[in-house]
């Protein structure tokens, strides 16, 4: 996980304690105080995992002695306890939640095939699914419910067809098959399991529904997010491998939405280390207008494999807005689009201060072309910083030279003064020596006291450092 992702995750956790409750999220009860999360180790992990149909495992970094890391881990534990409390009431499956410490239980992680710490894994009967979303109890529970759904949803009537058509923010596929027993449907269902629950698969056995979708028998359509017209997967009827290969070649949409359940997954799927990020509040008139412009740009450039725009609706992440505004140096009360380094979050943003300055489709495509060609590059700021550092070094060298010259002049003056003193004060040398000895003793005592005070201060500073 990149530094930017870690900072974002920490900001979320420390802002609201791991529980995110939006308008449309689950209504969580208060934590009842019962410990449900298991600490998994070499002695108990097999017996614990056998008790459940589904096991949610958080493979976490060891928090160590850092107070910030310990506080973050406490918040993560509470989020898992809340999730376990809700999942405990699920009737269809027995779902357990456990922790594996990356330092103390590395052997267990290896036996379970876990190679990436600071991640949540969901163990079902025949597969392990990694969760790359927001570490919040409600988002995690909703994702687990999606995991428990069938990989392929069947469309039987016009109401279900309407529901399918209303899905525009996710990749979706739909196929028309003769029946559940069709070998071609079985190949389709097997392919769906490979991508479940991240990609939505639908199927119909109804000629009427197939006609409405303009599907031929054993044909599968692939829909990009925000695209009205699908791509017909060529070469029907398909094998499982053919479907998997096509989806893997096309699973980075031209326009995709960052959502709580996929935020880290999307951020890690950058294009040459960069993301084109667009902030637009869909409920705001300017944001809605800008989103429509983005959709048109995406539709015009859907065949460009190098273009993928990440849309973020600020309403979905209210607690991250101050963090993003500070990190990127932008005002998120109006639409914004920029190119961001996926690792260190250096960025360059298109100049559009208010809704009156929204770019046209052509203007936005020209700007994107400059980004893709490298004319606009967030790393250019790093070069400027390096130049500034070089200038600072030159200034320091000049200052050092000036100081050396001044020191030489002072030394010469001191020598002249010393000669004069020797000539004039020979008779008083003995008395001065006695006085100097006394002064030296006093100075030594003062220096010792100062050293002791400095040591005490250093110890206090070390203690403060340990606290952080």
Query: CB-based burial of residue 257 (10 Å sphere; 0-12 exposed, 13-18 middle, 19+ buried)?
Result: buried
Which stretch of DSSP H or E encloses residue 393?
helix 380-424
What is the reported pTM? 0.75
Q: Tell me if 392 is assigned to some domain.
A: no
CB 377 within 8 A of CB 341: no
| 462 in the same domain as 402 | yes
| 52 in the same domain as 39 | yes
Closest CA to 148 of 99, 95, 112: 95
Q: Tell me if 390 is assigned to some domain.
A: no
The length of the chain, given as a count of residues: 468
| 121 in the same domain as 10 | yes
Q: Angle CA(445)–CA(449)–CA(452) in degrees, nearest 5? A: 140
| 12 in the same domain as 143 | yes
Which tokens hold the place of 214? 């303009």
| 18 in the same domain as 70 | yes
| Domain total in the chain | 4
Q: Tell me if 409 is assigned to some domain.
A: yes
Can you tell me whether residue 59 is helix, strand or coil? strand
Q: Residues 21, 24, 25, 31: what is their CA dihedral angle, to the nearest 10 degrees?
A: 60
Domain termination residue (choose one: 322, 350, 378): 378
Counts of helices then strands in the chain (DSSP H, E): 15, 15
Per-residue pLDDT tens for 439-467?
Answer: 444 443 444 444 444 444 444 444 444 43
Per-residue pLDDT tens for 168-192?
Answer: 999 999 999 999 999 999 999 999 9
Inter-CA distances, 407 with 142, 396, 413, 414, 429, Å? 72, 16, 10, 10, 27
- pLDDT tier, 10 (very low <50, low <70, confident <90, very high otherwise): low
| 441 in the same domain as 323 | no
Per-residue pLDDT tens for 62-110?
Answer: 999 999 999 999 999 999 999 999 999 998 899 999 999 999 999 999 9
Per-residue pLDDT tens for 257-314?
Answer: 999 999 999 999 999 999 999 999 999 999 999 999 999 999 999 999 999 999 999 9
DSSP state of 233: P
- pLDDT tier, 15 (very low <50, low <70, confident <90, very high otherwise): very low
Which tokens hold the place of 151? 């990989």
Those residues whose C-beta lies under 8 Å from the C-beta of residue 9, and which sit 6 or more positions away, are: 1, 135, 264
| 456 in the same domain as 417 | yes
Domain termination residue (choose one: 97, 126, 148): 148
Closest CA to 384 of 338, 415, 441, 346: 346
Structural domain harbouring 450 = 398-467
Per-residue pLDDT tens for 317-363?
Answer: 999 999 999 999 999 999 999 999 999 999 999 998 655 689 999 99
- pLDDT tier, 366 (very low <50, low <70, confident <90, very high otherwise): very high
- pLDDT tier, 29 (very low <50, low <70, confident <90, very high otherwise): confident
Q: Tell me if 393 is assigned to some domain.
A: no
| 214 in the same domain as 162 | yes
| 194 in the same domain as 307 | no
pLDDT at residue 304 in the model: 94
């Amino acid at each position: 996980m990149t530094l930017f992702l870690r900072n974002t995750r920490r900001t979320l956790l420390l802002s609201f304690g791991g529980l995110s409750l939006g308008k449309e999220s689950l209504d969580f009860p208060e934590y009842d105080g019962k410990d449900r999360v298991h600490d998994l180790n070499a002695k108990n992990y097999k017996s614990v995992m056998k008790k459940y149909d589904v096991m949610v495992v958080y493979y976490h970094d060891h928090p160590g002695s850092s107070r910030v890391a310990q506080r973050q881990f406490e918040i993560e534990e509470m989020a898992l306890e809340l999730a376990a409390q809700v999942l405990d009431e699920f009737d269809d499956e027995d779902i357990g939640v456990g922790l594996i410490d990356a330092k103390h239980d590395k052997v267990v992680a290896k036996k379970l095939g876990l190679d990436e710490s600071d991640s949540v894994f969901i163990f079902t009967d025949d597969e392990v699914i990694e969760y790359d979303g927001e570490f919040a109890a409600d988002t995690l529970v909703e994702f687990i419910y999606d995991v428990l759904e069938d990989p392929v949803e069947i469309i039987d009537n016009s109401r279900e067809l309407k529901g399918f058509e209303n899905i525009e923010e996710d990749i979706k596929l739909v196929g028309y098959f003769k029946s559940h027993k069709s070998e071609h449907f079985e190949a389709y269902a097997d392919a769906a399991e490979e991508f479940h629950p991240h990609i939505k698969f639908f199927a119909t056995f109804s000629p009427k529904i197939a006609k409405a979708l303009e599907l031929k028998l054993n044909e599968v359509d692939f829909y990009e997010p925000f695209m009205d017209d699908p791509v017909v997967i060529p070469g029907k009827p398909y094998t499982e491998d053919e479907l998997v290969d096509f989806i893997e070649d096309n699973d980075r949409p031209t326009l995709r939405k960052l959502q709580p359940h996929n935020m880290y997954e999307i951020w890690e799927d950058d294009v040459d280390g960069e993301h084109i990020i667009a902030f637009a509040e869909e409920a705001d008139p300017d944001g809605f207008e800008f989103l429509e412009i983005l959709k048109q740009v995406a539709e015009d450039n859907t065949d460009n494999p190098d273009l993928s725009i990440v849309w973020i609706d600020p309403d979905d992440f209210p607690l991250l807005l101050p963090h993003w505004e500070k990190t990127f140096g932008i005002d998120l009360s109006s639409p914004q689009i920029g190119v961001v380094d996926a690792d260190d979050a250096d960025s360059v943003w298109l100049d559009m201060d208010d809704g009156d300055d929204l770019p046209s489709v052509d203007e936005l495509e020209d700007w994107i072309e400059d980004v893709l060609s490298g004319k606009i590059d967030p790393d250019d700021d790093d070069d400027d910083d390096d130049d500034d550092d070089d200038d600072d070094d030159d200034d320091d060298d000049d200052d050092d030279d000036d100081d050396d010259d001044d020191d030489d002049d002072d030394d010469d003056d001191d020598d002249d003064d010393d000669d004069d003193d020797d000539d004039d004060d020979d008779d008083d040398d003995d008395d001065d020596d006695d006085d100097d000895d006394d002064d030296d003793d006093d100075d030594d005592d003062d220096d010792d006291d100062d050293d002791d005070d400095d040591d005490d201060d250093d110890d206090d500073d070390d203690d403060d450092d340990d606290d952080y």
